[in-house]
């Protein structure tokens, strides 16, 4: 199957290692993936707070571009891969409301027409996918297992899914107790840590606005992850990764507690288990080096 | 976070630190609930049973001046000013826990978004309060370039709210710069004008319906 890749703004800056590792892992698995040309921002939570119809129209433009780039195909929908949870969730939300609400659909269609884009049936012609979904369900755990050259035996890895990846519009995993990442971790030879905060919010943009609140939410996650014996925490969203990794210094000052938890993208760990180089998975861009060997018992 | 000061004659002390804000029917905004319901895609929020699941599941409710459950009750009753001036609507980090858990299937996150939209449109929020400022700075950057630049966004936000916060972020910013995770080069789509045309068309299409 062929995939189109929608990076979103974060994967071109703070989430650069996410982009590098996703593309490298797909390449290692021989999966055809190509970037969506001339994509625009999904609108994130900010557009939703200012103007919802504009937010939907921004998402719809990306979908219309995807349909155009995909061409007729063989009548199959285009598979649009959005690695950022906010992009992923917003694209799904736009599809949902374009179907549910005739007023939304009318406004979006009119707006797309003015920029010369086709808007018919975007919700059917485009399938929004998260790379975690693609890896766990399309490519499959077995094929990933076969590629593992350096098993991460015994490493205690904490799967953190965050909020928007599993709710409210996603359907590829359980919204309360998702397991796709757990299964991937096991396929790499590592040991997934079972914990209750898998889908609890990391604080999102609050880390940049109301730090007292944002850092506290992230801190709770890290503290619980280390209490459970986690040696490395995995995320599937650039904002979660940024919040949980980059502000650890700030958290340690604020809460007088030394958490030193490496936080990487799930795709980076897969890449390392495939024996890809640090550069291929963007490991050199992390603030805290990734941990790949289990602590001695 | 401090609870905002309220006019004393409207605050009724019920003893044991329980205060309730009372209003006569004539002081309430009777059309508020319908306005919010329309923006938040749902008549369902009239069916709220005030069970409090949303407040219990919300990871930031203990920082809010009114919990989500109370916000719903206040919107329905027509406490327009109080709701729009609350910190609650801005503290909502949009994680959709409440929406996923609500037994009445009320889209509470969308209710919060609807309230943010009204507050921004009417300019009702504390000056220099970073969250609505960030939303608007983000809006402007994307409108101009079609894509966001995270470094520029943080810079603009700090300059418009609290320039000293730049110091607080300096260390992280520098590290991001060194690891190539933030750049000054602005990403943009091929034809800048296209996003402005698209967004303008949304405004026109919306007006045409009225």
Does residue B112 surpass a pLDDT of 90? yes
A52-70 and A85-100 helices cross at what angle (nearest 10)? Answer: 100
Q: Concatenate the DSSP letters of all residues of A251-279 into one string.
A: HHHHHT------EEEHHHHHHHHTT--TT
* End-to-end CA gap in chain A: 43
Mean pLDDT lowest among A39-53, A174-188, A251-265, B3-17: B3-17
The alpha-helical segments, DSSP class H, found in chain A are: 16-28, 44-50, 52-70, 85-100, 102-114, 122-125, 131-133, 141-147, 180-187, 206-209, 211-227, 238-246, 248-255, 266-273
Residue A30 in 3-state DSSP?
A: coil
Q: How confident is the model at residue B22 (pLDDT cuts 50, 70, 90)?
A: confident
Q: Give the residue-averaged pLDDT of B134-147.
A: 92
Q: Are both A36-129 and A146-285 of the same fold?
A: no
Whether the bond into B199 is cis, omega within 30 of 0: no
Q: How confident is the model at residue B77 (pLDDT cuts 50, 70, 90)?
A: very high
Q: How confident is the model at residue A3 (pLDDT cuts 50, 70, 90)?
A: very high
Mean pLDDT lowest among A2-11, A40-49, A217-226, B162-171: B162-171
Q: Measured between beta carbons, which residues in chain B are less than 8 angstroms from residue A204?
A: 93-95
Q: How confident is the model at residue B200 (pLDDT cuts 50, 70, 90)?
A: very high
Distance (Å, whole) CA B159 – CA B153: 10
Question: Looking at the complex, does the CB of residue A165 fall below 8 Å from at least one CB of chain B?
Answer: no
Backbone angles phi, psi at A114, to 5 degrees: -65, -25
Q: Calculate Rg over the CA atoms of chain A.
A: 19
- Specify the pLDDT at position A64: 97
Q: For chain A, what are the domain ranges?
A: 36-129, 146-285
Distance (Å, whole) CA B202 – CA A107: 6
Contact B134 A40 (CB under 8 A): no
Nearest-by-Cβ selection for B151 from A13, A205, A211: A13
Please state which architecture CATH assigns to domain A36-129: Up-down Bundle (1.20)
Q: Measured between beta carbons, which residues in chain B are less than 8 angstroms from residue A45?
A: 94, 135
Residue of A nearest to B111 (CA): A49
Q: Measured between beta carbons, which residues in chain B are less than 8 angstroms from residue A113?
A: 201
The strand pair at B19-21 and B11-13 is best described as antiparallel
Does residue A21 surpass a pLDDT of 60? yes
Contact A175 B100 (CB under 8 A): yes
Residue of B nearest to A168 (CA): B100
Please give the C-alpha separations between residue B164 and each of B107, B157, B159, B168, in angstroms, as whole numbers. Answer: 37, 11, 8, 7
Does residue B83 surpass a pLDDT of 90? yes
Contact B181 A16 (CB under 8 A): yes
Contact A284 B39 (CB under 8 A): no
Paired tokens of A166: 């599993």
- Specify the pLDDT at position B11: 59
Burial of residue B122 (number of CB atoms within 10 Å: 0-12, 13-18, 19+)? exposed
Q: Concatenate the DSSP letters of all residues of B163-208 into one string.
A: TTHHHHHHHHHHHHHHTT---SSPP--S-THHHHHHHHHHHHHHHH
Which of the 8 DSSP states describes residue A177? S
Give the model confidence (pLDDT) of A113-131 as tens digits: 999 999 999 999 999 999 9
Distance (Å, whole) CA A164 – CA A230: 23
Which has more pLDDT, B162 or B32?
B32
Residue B159 in 3-state DSSP?
A: helix
Q: Give the residue-averaged pLDDT of A9-38.
A: 96
Paired tokens of B197: 């045309």
Does residue A100 surpass a pLDDT of 80? yes
Q: What's the mean per-residue pLDDT of chain B?
A: 88
Does residue A78 surpass a pLDDT of 70? yes
Q: Measured between beta carbons, which residues in chain B are less than 8 angstroms from residue A175?
A: 100
Backbone angles phi, psi at A43, to 5 degrees: 100, -20
Q: Measured between beta carbons, which residues in chain A are less than 8 angstroms from residue B157?
A: 208-209
Nearest-Cα distance to chain B for A40, in Å, is 5
* CATH of span A146-285: 3.40.50.11810
Q: Measured between beta carbons, which residues in chain B are less than 8 angstroms from residue A9?
A: 147-150, 187
Give the model confidence (pLDDT) of A262-288 as tens digits: 999 999 999 999 999 999 999 999 999
Give the model confidence (pLDDT) of A150-176 as tens digits: 999 999 999 999 999 999 999 899 999
Contact A284 B209 (CB under 8 A): no
Does residue A47 surpass a pLDDT of 70? yes
Does residue B3 surpass a pLDDT of 50? no
Cβ under 8 Å to A: B residues 147-166: 147-151, 154, 157
Q: Which domains does chain B have, with CATH numbers?
A: 8-122 (1.10.1060.10), 130-209 (no CATH)
Size of interface A-B (CB pairs under 8 A): 180
Question: Looking at the complex, does the CB of residue B34 fall below 8 Å from at least one CB of chain A?
Answer: no
Question: Looking at the complex, does the CB of residue A241 fall below 8 Å from at least one CB of chain B?
Answer: no
Q: Measured between beta carbons, which residues in chain A are less than 8 angstroms from residue B194?
A: 115
Give the model confidence (pLDDT) of A202-253 as tens digits: 999 999 899 899 999 999 999 999 999 999 999 999 999 999 999 999 999 9
Cα within 13 Å of Cα(A7), Cβ side: 26
Q: Give the residue-averaged pLDDT of B10-21.
A: 68
């Amino acid at each position: 199957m062929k995939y189109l890749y929608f990076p979103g703004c974060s994967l071109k800056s703070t989430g650069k290692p996410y982009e590098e590792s996703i593309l490298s892992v797909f390449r290692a698995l021989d999966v055809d993936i190509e970037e969506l040309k001339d994509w625009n921002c999904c609108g994130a939570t900010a557009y939703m707070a200012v103007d919802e119809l504009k937010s939907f129209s921004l998402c719809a433009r990306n979908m219309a571009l995807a349909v155009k780039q995909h061409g007729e195909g063989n009548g199959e929908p285009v598979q649009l891969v959005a690695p950022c949870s906010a992009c992923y969730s917003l694209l799904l939300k736009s599809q949902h409301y374009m179907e549910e609400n005739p007023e939304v659909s009318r406004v979006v269609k009119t707006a797309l027409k003015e920029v010369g884009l086709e808007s018919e049936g975007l919700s059917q012609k485009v399938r929004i996918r998260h790379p975690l979904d693609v890896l766990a369900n399309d490519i499959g755990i077995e094929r990933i297992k076969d590629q593992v050259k350096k098993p991460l035996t015994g490493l205690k890895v904490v799967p953190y899914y965050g909020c928007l990846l599993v709710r409210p519009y996603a359907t590829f995993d359980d919204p309360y107790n998702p397991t796709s990442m757990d299964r991937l971790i096991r396929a790499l030879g590592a040991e997934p840590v079972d914990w209750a905060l898998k889908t609890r919010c990391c604080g999102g943009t609050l880390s940049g606005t109301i730090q007292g609140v944002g850092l506290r939410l992230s801190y709770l996650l890290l503290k619980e992850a280390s209490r459970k014996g986690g040696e490395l925490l995995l995320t599937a969203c650039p904002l979660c990764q940024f919040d949980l990794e980059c502000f650890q210094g700030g958290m340690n000052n604020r809460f007088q507690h030394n958490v030193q938890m490496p936080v990487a993208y799930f795709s980076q760990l897969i890449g390392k288990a495939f024996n890809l180089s640090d550069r291929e998975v963007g490991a050199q861009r992390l603030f805290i080096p990734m941990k790949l060997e289990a602590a001695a018992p | 976070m401090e609870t905002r000061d309220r006019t004393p004659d409207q605050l009724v002390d019920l003893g044991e630190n329980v205060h309730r804000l009372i209003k006569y029917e004539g002081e309430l905004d009777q059309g508020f609930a319908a306005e919010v319901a329309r923006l938040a895609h749902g008549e369902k929020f009239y069916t709220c049973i005030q069970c409090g699941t949303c407040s219990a599941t919300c990871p930031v409710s203990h920082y809010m001046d009114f919990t989500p459950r109370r916000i719903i009750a206040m919107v329905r009753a027509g406490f327009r000013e109080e709701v729009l001036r609350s910190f609650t609507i801005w503290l909502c980090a949009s994680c959709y826990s409440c929406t996923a858990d609500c037994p009445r299937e009320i889209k509470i996150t969308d209710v919060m978004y609807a309230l943010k939209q009204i507050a921004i449109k009417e300019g009702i929020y504390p000056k220099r309060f970073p969250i609505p400022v960030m939303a608007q700075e983000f809006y402007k950057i994307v409108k101009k370039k079609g894509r966001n630049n995270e470094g520029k966004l943080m810079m603009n936000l700090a300059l418009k709210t609290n320039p000293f916060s730049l110091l607080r972020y300096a260390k992280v910013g520098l590290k991001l710069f060194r690891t190539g995770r933030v750049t000054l080069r602005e990403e943009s789509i091929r034809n800048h004008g296209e996003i402005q045309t698209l967004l303008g068309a949304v405004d026109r299409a919306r007006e045409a319906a009225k």
